[in-house]
Amino acid sequence: MPNNQVVYVDGVRTPFGRAGEKGMYWRTRSDDLVVSAIIGLLERNPGIKPEAIDDVAIAATTQSGDQGLTLGRTSAILAGLPLSVPGYSIDRMCAGGMTAVTTIAGGIAFGAYDLAIAGGVEHMGHHPLGGDVDPNPRFLSEKLVSPDALNMGITAERLHDRFPELTKERADRFGMLSQQKVEAAYQAGLIQPDLIPVALRGDAGYSMATEDEGRRPETTMEGLAALKTPFRPHGKVTAGNASPLTDGATVSAIASESFARQMNLSIKMRMVSFGFAGVEPEVMGLGPIPSTQKALDKASLSIQDIGLFELNEAFSVQVLSFLDHFGIDDEDPRVNPWGGAIALGHPLAASGVRLMIQLARQFEAHPEVRYGLTAMCVGLGQGGSVIWENPHHKATK
């Protein structure tokens, strides 16, 4: 445990929208999504005094245009925080938001911070993945990585190649169940409380984004079987077993437990440990396996101690490879009980905090669970994992 116990006070997100001209955020700036989320977080946590915020860390994978200019600082100013509150931007591709949280947590554990905001944003409609980058030619000329490593869909196909037991049928079924679980959670009103509505401007005037746009609850195995495989002929990765291109923002309030109690703030989770790890870029989906093992080892825990899993569904096969490695069934009820990114979307740097938002809610409903895990794969061959403790835990006989 750190010297200063790190706690997750609260987290919120915008509804996630489909990327592109037909998506609901096409005319909305990326930084305005972050601003909406920060304002919403503070409105529902009046105990957080803006002048007490020590820093604002906002992640984005593409840091240009409306995602440039040091997002943490600009978003803080636009959200009306005092000019005394600093901010910065951060990037670890898909794990950007998760890294914002763990970086802030390090500052808290060290004693430099009492309270800070950490989150992420991605407007994949305005900033397609890889659209503004210039990879060093040495990556390819010196064969440091395969050209395939720069295409996430092909890296997912390589997992199917490496593990023949990870069949397309398993991947499709996992994708279908994700859609069904998200719809069930929506019908039960479990997801909506953490969504911050966003004002939209369209041809017909103004409206509000209040729900995630990409859900497909009507998904069937028959429909999934007929989808094209865009990354290779006769492949196994399709739009039905992969996360869609998505726009959205997430933010969280992270604090020391002593400060949270002093200010009478909620404590929804306690951070136990975290780990980041590297793997071959060509099979980047395996990243959460070593990062989770590292986090477990740091906490002197085993995978059997984890009672709830929030795993980012970049691709079905990526989650399935994780489950097979740790001996967990595809349909284990502890895994993504409200579905995941295949249905909700994966706005890259925003997704890590989305996992935390859902785990915190599930902790409230499951006092019998002591530990939970948020984990995700990361482009260029990485994984990120954070283990959390449930403050509502009550030991059962």
Residue at 281 is within a domain: yes
Catalytic residue at 377? Answer: yes
User: Which is nearest to 55 in space by CA: 100, 10, 11, 87?
Assistant: 87
Which pTM was predicted? Answer: 0.96
| pLDDT, one tens digit for every residue, the chain (397 residues) | 446 999 999 999 999 999 999 999 999 999 999 999 999 999 999 999 999 999 999 999 999 999 999 999 999 999 999 999 999 999 999 999 999 999 999 999 999 999 999 999 999 999 988 777 888 888 878 888 888 787 899 999 999 999 999 999 999 999 999 999 999 999 999 999 999 999 998 777 889 999 999 999 999 999 999 999 999 999 999 999 999 999 999 999 999 999 999 999 999 999 999 999 999 999 999 999 999 999 999 999 999 999 999 999 999 999 999 999 999 999 999 999 999 999 999 999 999 999 999 999 999 999 999 999 999 999 999 999 999 999 999 876 5
Q: Which of 94, 123, 126, 160 is catalytic?
A: 94
Q: Where are the alpha helices (DSSP H) in 349-396?
A: 351-365
Helix (H, G, I), strand (E, B) or coil at 95: helix
Domain holding 79, by residue range, is 6-126+244-387
Q: Report in angstroms the alpha-carbon separations of 210 from 117, 183, 197, 225, 329.
A: 23, 15, 5, 31, 34
One-letter amino acid for residue 313 of the chain = E
Domain-embedded: residue 234? no
In 10-131, where does DSSP find H-type helix? 30-43, 71-78, 96-110
The total of structural domains in the chain comes to 1
Which residue of the set 123, 377, 392, 393 is catalytic?
377
Q: Is residue 377 within 8 Å of 288, Cβ to Cβ? A: yes
Instruction: Say if 210 falls within a structural domain.
Output: no
pLDDT tens digits, one per residue of 27-83: 999 999 999 999 999 999 999 999 999 999 999 999 999 999 999 999 999 999 999
In a domain, 120, yes or no: yes
Q: Is residue 161 a part of any domain in this protein?
A: no
Residue 71: count of CB within 10 angstroms of its CB? 28
Question: Is there a catalytic annotation at residue 393?
Answer: no
- In the chain the beta strands, taken as DSSP E runs, fall at 6-13, 17-18, 56-59, 88-90, 115-123, 198-202, 205-209, 246-256, 269-278, 306-311, 371-378, 382-389
Length of the chain equals: 397
Burial of 199 from C-beta contacts in 10 A (0-12 / 13-18 / 19+): exposed
Question: Would residue 192 count as lying in a domain?
Answer: no
In the annotation, is 126 catalytic?
Answer: no
Residue 205's pLDDT is what? 82
Q: Residue 118 maps to which CATH number?
A: 3.40.47.10
User: How far, in Å, CA of 67 to CA of 122, rounded?
Assistant: 8
Q: Which of 123, 126, 160, 346 is catalytic?
A: 346
Task: Tell me, yes or no, whether 50 lies in a domain.
Answer: yes
- Specify whether the CB–CB gap between 327 and 337 falls below 8 A: no
Q: How far apart are CA 155 and CA 280, in angstroms?
A: 10
- Residue 212 resides in a domain: no
